[in-house]
Amino acid sequence: MTARFTDRTVLVVGGGGGIGRATARAFAGEGATVVVAGTTEANLAETVALITKDGGRADLIRADVTREEEVERMVATVVERHGGLDVAHNNAGILGQAAPVADLDPDTWRRVLDVNVTGVFLAMRHEIAHMRAHGGGAIVNTSSNIGAHQRLAGMAAYGASKAALSHLTRAAALDHIGDGVRINAVSPGPVEAPMSLLPGESEEQRAARFASSVPVGRIGDLDEISSAVLWLASDEAGFAVGHDLVVDGGVTA
């Protein structure tokens, strides 16, 4: 199969682990030069090391998506180092406190929305600005089946943030398709990432929990999500605009 991202530069925001790391490695495996960004440099460095060990090209930038000056610098640095930005995967996100609305700490509410919604807005704002001035590009945001497509008790902040993100994705997609920038989202269900583990839960216990609650009978593999992201970012998905691709083993259905 021909590598779909040869000679393209891809930015993965939130690339220090989980879905972001899997996606960064998948992009690199298909020929891209990958830049991973996030707040924990050690985790980003581990992603870069895995990619380079596999023969790929990658580097890292430390950036907090809630700070616009850092987001602006992040995009500018990618362009300066690699000559442009062709694809962005905005994957940074946090779960926040699980609590009923009346018991939810307002600081937690603000922090979750700052990262999951405002952070993606700021990232897209600067990614789009470069892409529309240089021939276009593709952006994929990580939403969630929680909030965007179903409700989960005790997850008001996270659910609200992902519902907002899905709307933001559609709005941005329609605003900028005329600029040659194609924007979509992927909404994963439960996958083998740290965020899906309950406090004190083992990976085996998590697998058993989701085997009984997910129609397909198992938890999702990270590669199944990265495959969806790569398809949405590729030329193969050229007619997909403002789409939120649910990959959740049948939970939403």
Provide the pLDDT for residue 1: 56
- Burial letters for 238-247: b for 16+ Cβ neighbours within 10 Å, e otherwise? eebebbbbbb
pLDDT of res. 190: 87
Q: Model's pTM, two decimal places?
A: 0.94
User: How far apart are alpha carbons 172 and 189 in whole angstroms?
Assistant: 23
Catalytic residues: 158
Q: Where are the domains of the chain?
A: 9-247
Give the residues of the chain that fall short of pLDDT 70. Answer: 1, 148, 196-197
Dump pLDDT digits (tens) for 182-201: 999 999 998 887 776 677 77
In this prediction, residue 148 carries a pLDDT of: 67
Q: Which CATH class is domain 9-247?
A: alpha beta
